[in-house]
């Protein structure tokens, strides 16, 4: 939530800093688990399979301790707090509150199998109670209510299903997803091509297949089925042709001519579908980037890791900006130049490019975002978070605002000097000693 601009309901960007193996990715994994549990716990989780959580592994006793997940979100200008507590076998607690007029409104509270509903939901009280009778121990009530299309809870349920997306370090390894995005409309493809071009990657355009493997596979399968039916009909009519006692011969001959035409047409459609599928296989990558004045196509395997990363990131970035969704990116600076990351952050900061109020949440090591060059917009002080791991291996998340930073502070220098924690505790002399120790031990 914003600390300085009270007119904002949420900050458009949240950057999470921390040392390697400090727990930044675990933070994202926790949010990903929440989204999965809301979407799938009622419809897809095995009724007798318990809860597929991942407790803290460095403390054996953690397996016997419950895990707590809480998120605050704003949907359709209403703030919500949603959370749940689970162990390996079941949901122990679950709650959902809304703040339509900045005062807490209880939508529901759950303790094990006991459901309680707020006094302001009396209009759907009977349906809520009916749904609660269907609840399994290892399923979330929000998951059940969402699957049942309960209007009161759909905004929060749909946020987890449609308005939060996750992007990992393998963003550039899914070319078909990129091709699918490019096929979805000329406007979207045009913006993506422009963002590729202006990123100074030497790209002049994009070449992509108009066909998707899934559509072509379905087309081939359906054409084979139609051809089989047409062929069987021809053989049936041929067996009647010339038989004693058969129906009027001219009717059979006419029907046979029609059936042969249908079979020929079905065969032509099969050949066309098969040819398109084979052409797609021969073409290889569904997406190729064009370079230079001659628009020379390059296969993705010939592109740099940074180019592939930027290419894979753009579809989800543009989708989030269009829909006002939350995009969560792990290690956003992997293979991307800091200036390119800064431009990406700017897309979410600028209301012209982010009119729907999308949010970017990311983990990073890139300290230059804290104090970029002159004339560049840095991260706001309430957009910066840190993760630090203690000696037991557990992680703590805390905001920069805990340190009451001043607007004129050089946040990059202060962070790298350890003023805010969340930096590796490594000493030069330890590295030198480690090298000497290894050398001394050689035969």
CB neighbours of residue 185 within 10 Å: 10
* Token pair for 214: 């899934």
User: What does the pLDDT read at residue 443?
Assistant: 45
Nearest CA-CA partner of 377 in 353, 401, 402: 353
Residue 294 lies in a domain: no
Q: Per the domain annotation, does 88 fall within a domain?
A: yes
Same domain, 53 and 156: yes
Q: What is the mean pLDDT of residues 36-59?
A: 91
Q: Does residue 91 lie in a domain region?
A: yes
pLDDT tens-place string over residues 136-154:
999 999 999 999 999 999 9
H-helix or E-strand spanning residue 114: strand 114-117
**Can you tell me the mean pLDDT for 209-222?**
66
Cβ–Cβ under 8 Å, residues 332 and 362? yes
**If you average pLDDT over residues 277-292, what whole number do you get?**
69
SS3 421: coil
Residue 292: pLDDT band with limits 50, 70, 90? confident
User: In this structure, is residue 82 part of a structural domain?
Assistant: yes
Domain that holds residue 104: 41-163
Q: For 180-193, what is the mean pLDDT?
A: 80
Counting residues of the chain whose pLDDT is more than 90, the rounded percentage is: 41
CB atoms within 10 A of CB 113: 12
Q: What's the chain's average pLDDT?
A: 84
Structure tokens at 263: 């079979």
In a domain, 390, yes or no: no
Residue 212 has what pLDDT?
60
Which residue is listed with tokens 């309960």? 150
Q: Is the pLDDT of residue 170 over 60?
A: no
pLDDT, tens digit, 9 for 90 and up, residues 315-341: 999 999 999 999 999 999 887 888 889
pLDDT at 87: 95
Q: Which of 132, 163, 194 is the last residue of a domain?
A: 163
Do 69 and 158 reside in the same domain of the chain? yes
Report the domain count for the chain: 2
Domain membership flag for residue 380: no
- Tokens 């193996």 belong to residue: 21
Map residue 60 onto helix, strand or coil: helix
Section 414-436 average pLDDT: 84
Is residue 229 in some structural domain?
Answer: yes
Quick: pLDDT tens for 365-406: 989 888 876 546 778 999 999 999 888 888 999 999 999 998
User: 3-state DSSP call for residue 304?
Assistant: coil
How do beta strands 326-329 and 296-298 pair? unpaired
Residue 191 belongs to what H/E stretch? helix 186-197
Sheet of 384-389: strand order equals 164-167, 326-329, 359-364, 13-18, 384-389, 395-399
Cβ neighbours around 176 below 10 Å, total: 15
Are 229 and 147 in the same domain?
A: no
Where a domain ends, among 283, 301, 326?
Answer: 283
288 touches 300 (CB < 8 A): yes
- Please report the pLDDT score of residue 173 as a whole number: 56
Q: Cα(386)–Cα(164) distance, rounded to whole angstroms?
A: 21
Greater confidence (251 vs 300) lies with 300
The pLDDT of residue 357 is 93
Q: 163 versus 177: which is more confidently predicted?
A: 163
Q: What is the pLDDT of residue 96?
A: 97
Assess whether pLDDT exceeds 60 at residue 171: no
pLDDT digits (tens, 9 = 90+) for 77-133: 899 999 999 999 999 999 999 998 888 999 999 999 999 998 888 778 888 889 988
Q: What is the pTM of this model?
A: 0.79
- pLDDT (average), residues 281-288: 65
Which candidate, 320, 382, 20, places its Cα nearest to that of 329?
320
- Residues 69, 156, single domain; the answer is yes
Q: Cα–Cα distances in Å, from 323 out to 192, 280, 296?
A: 16, 31, 34
177 vs 7, higher pLDDT: 177
Together in a domain, 132 and 221: no
Does any domain span residue 426? no
Same domain, yes or no, for 45 and 157?
yes
CA 443, distance to chain mean position in Å, is: 51
Instruction: Return d(Cα 30, Cα 11) in angstroms, integer.
Output: 20
- Is residue 156 located within the same domain as residue 47? yes
């Amino acid at each position: 939530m914003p600390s300085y601009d009270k007119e904002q309901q949420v900050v458009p960007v949240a950057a999470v800093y921390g040392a390697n193996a400090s727990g930044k990715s675990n933070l994202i994994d926790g949010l990903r688990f929440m989204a999965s549990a809301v979407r799938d716990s009622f419809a897809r989780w095995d009724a007798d399979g318990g809860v597929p959580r991942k407790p803290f592994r460095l403390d054996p006793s953690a397996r016997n301790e419950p895990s707590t997940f809480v998120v605050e979100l704003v949907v359709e200008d209403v703030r919500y707090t949603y959370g749940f507590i689970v162990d390996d076998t079941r949901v122990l607690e679950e709650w959902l509150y809304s703040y339509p007029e900045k005062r807490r409104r209880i939508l529901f509270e759950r303790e094990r199998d006991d459901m309680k509903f707020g006094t302001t939901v009396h209009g759907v009280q009977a349906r809520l109670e009916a749904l609660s009778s269907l609840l399994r121990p290892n399923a979330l009530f929000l998951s059940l209510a969402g699957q049942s299309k309960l209007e009161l809870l759909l905004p929060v349920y749909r946020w987890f299903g449609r308005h939060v997306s996750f992007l990992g370090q393998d963003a550039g390894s899914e070319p078909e997803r990129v091709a699918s995005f490019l096929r979805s409309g000329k406007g979207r493809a045009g913006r993506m091509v422009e963002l590729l071009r202006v990123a100074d990657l030497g790209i002049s355009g994009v070449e992509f297949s108009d066909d998707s493997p899934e559509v072509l596979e379905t087309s081939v399968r359906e054409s084979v089925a139609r051809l089989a039916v047409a062929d069987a009909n021809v053989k049936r009519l041929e067996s009647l042709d010339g038989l004693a006692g058969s129906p009027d011969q001219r009717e059979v001959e006419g029907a046979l001519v029609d059936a042969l035409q249908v079979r020929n047409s079905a065969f032509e459609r099969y050949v066309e579908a098969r040819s398109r599928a084979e052409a797609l296989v021969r073409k290889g990558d569904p997406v190729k980037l064009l370079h230079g004045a001659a628009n020379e196509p390059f296969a993705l395997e010939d592109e740099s890791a940074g180019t592939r990363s930027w290419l894979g990131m753009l579809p989800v970035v543009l989708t989030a900006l269009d829909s006002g969704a939350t995009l969560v990116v792990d290690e956003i600076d992997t293979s991307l130049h800091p200036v390119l990351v800064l431009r990406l952050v700017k897309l979410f900061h600028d209301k012209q490019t982010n009119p729907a109020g999308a949010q970017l949440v990311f983990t990073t090591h890139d300290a230059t975002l804290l104090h970029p060059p002159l004339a560049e917009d840095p991260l706001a002080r309430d957009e910066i978070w840190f993760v630090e791991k203690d000696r037991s291996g557990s992680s703590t998340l805390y905001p920069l605002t805990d340190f009451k930073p001043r607007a004129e502070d050089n946040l990059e220098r202060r962070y790298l000097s350890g003023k805010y924690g969340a930096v590796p505790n490594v000493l030069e002399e330890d590295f030198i000693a480690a090298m000497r120790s290894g050398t001394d031990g050689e035969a």
